[in-house]
């Protein structure tokens, strides 16, 4: 069984809407989130820890909102900023900006303890992350790091005054083509979102691995 490891029900709902309700089970586990300006090492490190915890194939999903004029803030700190100032005040901070362009990004990290290595022709070898790139501790680098496969997705949009009651997190203040993500169903959002794009890449690889 494939486990989507997250404390966030919204992420799990979207993953199941995309991959199928029976294709993935939710596993509520708060893995260690290393500090980094990039989502990739956070997701990769988390996937290794989650796999060690669960003992079956796992996906970890690290995501964030990147506001262009703020050099990508809150980015990897999106959860902290949502919990502290909240999305209404992210809108307030963005309102005076001449350019309110932003993007959502999502990185999925898959780890099965190394089974996918057995694939005769692994796709995207370069996506495999080494311990050095993941910020693993010296101890972990000494032992062989577990292989992790990464899939990323991004979507451009604009920060707007909150609208809509669907989705989760920053969805009410993120507008794409005139509609906020909170005004979309999970299926509509998946069809163009950062997570939907990453899930599409994952699903394509997973079927043929
Ligand atoms: P897990 O780490 O347990 O999966 P989390 O909510 O803490 O759950 P992250 O660490 O990846 O997830 O933080 C992502 C932040 O960005 C968090 O505040 C989310 O609400 C927000 N976020 C992620 N994806 C989003 C999406 O599709 N729409 C709106 N907000 C999103
Ligand atoms: Na988190």
Position 88 scores a pLDDT of 98
Position 136 scores a pLDDT of 52
Position 85 scores a pLDDT of 98
Give 109-166 pLDDT, tens digit per residue: 999 998 887 555 444 444 444 444 455 554 554 467 899 999 999 999 999 999 999 9
Position 132 scores a pLDDT of 44
Ligand nearest to the CA of 61: 1
Say whether 62 is catalytic. yes
187: exposed, middle or buried (C-beta count within 10 Å: 0-12, 13-18, 19+)? exposed
Give 73 Cα–ligand 1 centroid separation in angstroms. Answer: 14
Instruction: Work out how many domains the chain is built from and give that number.
Output: 1
Position 144 scores a pLDDT of 72
- The domain that holds 186 is classified in CATH as 3.90.950.10
Position 116 scores a pLDDT of 86
Pick out the chain residues at pLDDT < 50: 121-133, 138, 141-142
| Buried-state track 16-43, b at ≥16 Cβ within 10 A, e below 16 | bbbbeeeebebbebebebbebeebbbbb
Residues spanned by the domain of 91? 2-208
From 61, 62, 127, 171, active-site residue: 62
């Amino acid at each position: 069984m494939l486990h989507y490891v997250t404390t966030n029900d919204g992420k799990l709902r979207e993953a199941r809407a995309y991959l199928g309700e029976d294709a993935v089970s939710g596993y509520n586990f708060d893995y260690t989130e290393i500090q980094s300006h990039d989502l990739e090492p956070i997701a990769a490190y988390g996937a290794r820890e989650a796999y060690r915890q669960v003992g079956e194939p796992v996906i970890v999903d690290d995501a964030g909102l990147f506001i262009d004029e703020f050099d990508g803030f809150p980015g990897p700190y999106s959860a902290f900023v949502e919990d502290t100032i909240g999305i209404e005040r992210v809108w307030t901070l963005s309102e005076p900006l001449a350019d309110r362009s932003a993007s959502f990004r999502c990185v999925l990290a898959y780890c099965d303890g190394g089974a996918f290595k057995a694939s005769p022709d692994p796709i995207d070898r370069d996506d495999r992350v080494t311990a050095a790139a993941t910020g693993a501790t010296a101890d972990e680098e000494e032992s062989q790091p577990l292989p992790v496969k990464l899939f990323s997705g991004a979507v451009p949009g604009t920060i707007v005054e909150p609208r809509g009651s669907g989705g989760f997190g920053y969805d009410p203040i993120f507008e794409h083509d005139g509609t906020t993500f909170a005004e979309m169903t999970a299926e509509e959002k998946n069809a163009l979102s950062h997570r939907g794009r990453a899930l599409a890449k994952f699903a394509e690889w997973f079927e043929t691995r």
